Structure 1
Amino acid sequence: MISDTNGEPGSQPSHARLPSLVALRCFEAAARAENFSRAADELHLTHGAISRAVRTLEDDLGLALFERRSRRVFLTEAGRKLFKAVHEGLGLIQQATRELRGSVRQAPLVVSCEPTLLMRWLIPRWPGFQAQHPGTSVHLVAGGGPVSFDAGIDLAIRRDDFIWPPSVHAEALFAEKTGPVCSPGQVAALFTSRSAQPRLRAGAVQLQTRTRPQAWQEWASASGQPLPTGKAQVFEHFYFSLQAAVAGLGVAIGPWHLVCDDIASGLLVAPMGFTEDGSRYHLLSPRAAGAAGPQAQLLAWLRSVS
């Protein structure tokens, strides 16, 4: 009779069995930053999911990979050994994947862009890129915040209002400039011109957005203007607050690139002008662009129209 310890024919002994690949990926991200929260942001998971994955891996191996103290984590000697192997292994897989994707003819370059910037600035100018590069296939998708280049995204246009991993390559595109904007017919009701510099009236309705709740505070700090104290109306997305300004419902904080077309067409005015708030938009990628190719073409074009 065959002993149960031999297992099924052809099965691997427990010491040769690979750990969960999902757990290894979570561990690699956590070990690279020595921070579970940053790993969760990078992989679009919760802190608890990263913690459970690491604990599963530690239970599977029978040893500790992190030393936990004072709400921080540090790699143990075993953790450093495993991280080196997993990091190199994932790097080889990513490199092979990039090469295989690059070998596919006419594979579109997938570019993620913050939704309102995509709708109000990038898409209206996109025919210009297509005219300059008719042979380059690009697929535009809406997205914001941290981006995972392992999920089918090749490039991302983001404002630097969050911290991206050191492994991400960033090319600066343009500075963010903001200012109060409103319908031309509402200027007298919302602004006073008793001084050389127009100012918001005390009762001006502020149009705010949940996706960028600090917009008014950031503008006040950057411009040196007092924070308005009027009534506020809050919208779910930036686009809605700008449309509300066009409709005459109040005054919104308008980033230049999101409102420049409306100002040129006369739908909006900016009585107080625009002020750089210290942030910038960047083109994010897993590696630097070469001297030629779709990524280099897109970067040069974005800078030319900014």
Structure 2
Amino acid sequence: MKTDTLGDENSQTVKRRLPPLSALRCFEAAARLESFTRAGEALHLTHGAISRAVRALEEDLGTRLFERRSHRVFLTDAGRELLHSVTNAFDLIEAAARKLRTPDNAAPLVLSCEPTLLMRWLIPRIPAFFAAHPDIPLQLVAGGGPFVFGQGIDLAIRRNDFPWQRHTQAQWLFDEAIGPVCRPEQAAGWTREASGRVQLADNAPRLHSATRVQAWEQWSALKGLQQSAGEEQVFEHFYFSLQAAVAGLGLAIAPWQLVRDDLDSGLLVAPCGFIADGSAYYLLSPEAIEPDSPVARLLDWLRCQALASA
């Protein structure tokens, strides 16, 4: 049973009888440096202040801690015993203080990104972000359409094709530009020139995505073209239609950012070029982004990646 009686070994309010911390600091420095003068310099105190602190500590403990010989000091057996305990105690205090001043690794920022953009644009570039910002932990998750902040998502990259939550902060990343893409060796057979511009041939096989069902219709309207119905294939996901184009199955309507690496490598070509569709991608956050914060640095990096080779 615990009591509240001072001095009782079971008391919850035991009064510790410890030497003054300032005196212990002076003792530790003098013992480590074997000199009161150098201890004073290390602690920004005078030789006399160190000497008085050590003398007061010896009086409190009732034993000599140093032998003083020829301007140097040497630990007695009692001094060595105390130094061992004081060093361990200071090490524990220093470790605890360091841990409190520098908390454990912060929880990573969870960034939700539309799956195809994540796979074809962000993931190939993210190693460069980690190399440039090793102090910013970032976790990527795939997700499209509406979402709720605070349910495991800190930030999101989305196209402005649906209404966002109230108070959502939106930072522009890049405008969307779309166009049909195919393998280089197939472009000549699936296109023709008319009125001084390249158009798709009637026999060009078109690849559709169930997640962007209006992509071909939208592109045709933006280009002012009347496209006759030809061979078509529908894929469950946008990413699959782009991979089908890479495999040579036909032409897919693609945003420039999602195929720019394939265009640069020569794996795909865009025979009709790209045209802005009026939409854009944004970095969404639940609150305003503080300057020079991890999120601000991520935003700057994303914009640089989006604008590179634009």
TM-score tier, shorter chain, comes to 0.5 to 0.7
Contact residue 175 and residue 276 of structure 1 kept, 8 A: yes
Give the partner amino acid of 1:221.
A
Q: Distance in 2 between matches of 1:125 and 1:226?
A: 38
Give the partner amino acid of 2:155.
L
Q: Distance in 2 between matches of 1:104 and 1:224?
A: 58
Cα distance per residue 1:82-110 (max 9 Å; x no partner): xxxxxxxxxxxxxxxxxxxxx87421000
Give the partner amino acid of 1:293.
S
1:299 aligns with 2:302: no
1:125 aligns with 2:125: yes
Q: How many Å apart are 1:279 and its aligned residue?
A: 0.3
1:180 aligns with 2:180: yes
SS across alignment from 1:126: helix
Partner of 1:202: 202
SS across alignment from 1:125: helix
SS across alignment from 2:197: coil
Q: How many Å apart are 1:226 and its aligned residue?
A: 2.4
Q: How many Å apart are 1:204 and its aligned residue?
A: 1.2
Q: How many Å apart are 1:196 and its aligned residue?
A: 2.9
TM score, norm. by length of structure 2: 0.63
Larger Rg: 2
Cα distance per residue 1:191-239 (max 9 Å; x no partner): 0135531110112111000011111122122222224421210001111
Q: How many Å apart are 1:150 and its aligned residue?
A: 2.0
SS across alignment from 1:291: coil
Q: How many Å apart are 1:181 and its aligned residue?
A: 0.5
Q: How many Å apart are 1:272 and its aligned residue?
A: 0.6
Q: Distance in 1 between matches of 2:133 and 2:207?
A: 39
1:171 aligns with 2:171: yes
Unaligned stretches of 5+ residues in structure 2:
1-102
Q: Distance in 2 between matches of 1:188 and 1:250?
A: 12
Give 1:1-306 correspondences, 5 Å limit.
105-193=105-193, 195-306=195-306
Q: Distance in 2 between matches of 1:287 and 1:137?
A: 19
Number of residues of Structure 1 aligned to a counterpart in Structure 2: 204
Q: Distance in 2 between matches of 1:228 and 1:175?
A: 29
Partner of 2:9: none
Contact residue 216 and residue 227 of structure 1 kept, 8 A: no
Q: Distance in 1 between matches of 2:171 and 2:243?
A: 31
Cα distance per residue 1:141-192 (max 9 Å; x no partner): 0000011112110000000111112221111110000001011111122101
Q: How many Å apart are 1:246 and its aligned residue?
A: 1.3
Cα distance per residue 1:21-49 (max 9 Å; x no partner): xxxxxxxxxxxxxxxxxxxxxxxxxxxxx
Give the partner amino acid of 1:280.
A
Give the partner amino acid of 2:300.
A
Q: How many Å apart are 1:269 and its aligned residue?
A: 0.3
Give the partner amino acid of 1:298.
L
Q: Distance in 1 between matches of 2:163 and 2:234?
A: 26
Q: How many Å apart are 1:130 and its aligned residue?
A: 1.2
Give the partner amino acid of 1:278.
G
Q: Distance in 1 between matches of 2:217 and 2:179?
A: 11
Contact residue 168 and residue 285 of structure 1 kept, 8 A: yes
Give the partner amino acid of 2:233.
Q
Q: Distance in 2 between matches of 1:188 and 1:134?
A: 46
Unaligned stretches of 5+ residues in structure 1:
1-102
